A = this chain, B = another copy of it.
Amino acid sequence: MRIGELAQATGTKAETIRYYERAGILPAADRTDSNYRDYSDEHLATLTFVRRARALGFSMAQVRELLALSDHDDKPCENVDQLVRQQLSEVDSKIADLTALREELGQLLQSCEADRIGDCRIVESLSASRARP
């Protein structure tokens, strides 16, 4: 299949696919006589894997690791599980950060009882550190 079909099949832009090749995430495809990339079903499977892993928040580096691991059917899957656990804990900590942020933003919003910027507690709170009366 050509790059456009693969793109369609995986919901990826052709430019992104070429980028993955450059980045060493997706192996280079064969070429037709007219130098078009010619992808196999295996490429399709790999790209699907990549997209799914990316959608789950794995970094390119992690995806590379996952791909390398998934090539070794006979090895223990401990390392795979480990990567997933790691990603899970990163997501957890991002959620925690954002939740704290959310809290602060909420308090900011509530703090405004003024009508003009000169009296606005929001602006005040942004300028100074959070010490408030």
Q: Which of B76, B77, B101, B127 contacts A49 (CB 8 A)?
A: B127
Cα distance A52–B123 when bound, in Å? 11
- Interface hub of A57, A77, A114, A115 (most chain B Cβ within 10 A): A77
How big is chain A's contact interface, by range? Answer: 35 or more
Contact (Cβ within 8 A) A92 B84: no
A120 / chain B contacts, CB cutoff of 8 Å? 77, 80-81
- Tell whether A7 is near chain B: CB-to-CB under 8 Å: no
- Beta-carbon nearest neighbor of A121 in chain B: B77
A122→B76 CA distance, assembly (Å): 12
Which residues on the B side are within 8 Å of A70 (C-beta)? 117, 123, 126-127
Q: Specify which of B77, B84, B104, B127 is in contact with A105 (CB 8 Å cutoff).
A: B84
Q: Residue on B with the closest CB to A115?
A: B76
Assess whether A123 is in contact with B56, with CB atoms less than 8 Å apart.
no
The interface bits of chain A over 16-58 (1 if a CB of B lies within 8 angstroms of the residue's CB, else 0) are: 0000000000000000000000000000010011001100110
Residues of A within 8 A of B (CB): 45, 48-49, 52-53, 56-57, 66, 69-70, 72-77, 80-81, 84-85, 87-88, 91-92, 94-95, 98-99, 101-102, 104-106, 108-109, 112, 114-120, 122-123, 125-129
Query: Lowest 3 CB-CB distances: which A-B pairs, in order?
Result: A73-B118, A77-B120, A88-B105
